[in-house]
Structure 1
């Protein structure tokens, strides 16, 4: 029960920082940016339920652990690539 509480606490602690980042990058359409960000969360939750059901149906409940680990690693890889792209766009190389 404690782990469920901590998961919820950490999940909701991330949202204000993400919303701030979206607002900073939004430019002239902050409301639209926040709406798209929230829609992305809802779409991801729906996709996770669908994919989890497909995995359990096809390979059984024990397959959820490696599938979750693989998807987490894939998400981290995408995040690192996007972070690298963002910082190189902001700070171009001064070496010619």
Structure 2
């Protein structure tokens, strides 16, 4: 199953992502910034009491996390804002952001 197209179930998608990232449910929930209980609710079958449907943004986020985890170390750029040279501010004149 490819994570690039929506799989048959949300449960299968999340379980495959956990397996490919070699994480247990607690690690995976922390990586997503979710509680373990929320992950458990996402893992319930559709229609099961307490099941919660993933937001489309979460589908995309999980796909990108898996892709990043599978990149060779040299190809994976760090997440976060770009480096700012020492002594320089990210702001030019008052309130203007410099890229």
**TM above 0.5:** no
Higher RCO by CA contacts (8 Å cutoff, separation 6 or greater): 2
Alignment TM-score, normalising by the size of structure 1: 0.28
Alignment TM-score, normalising by the size of structure 2: 0.27
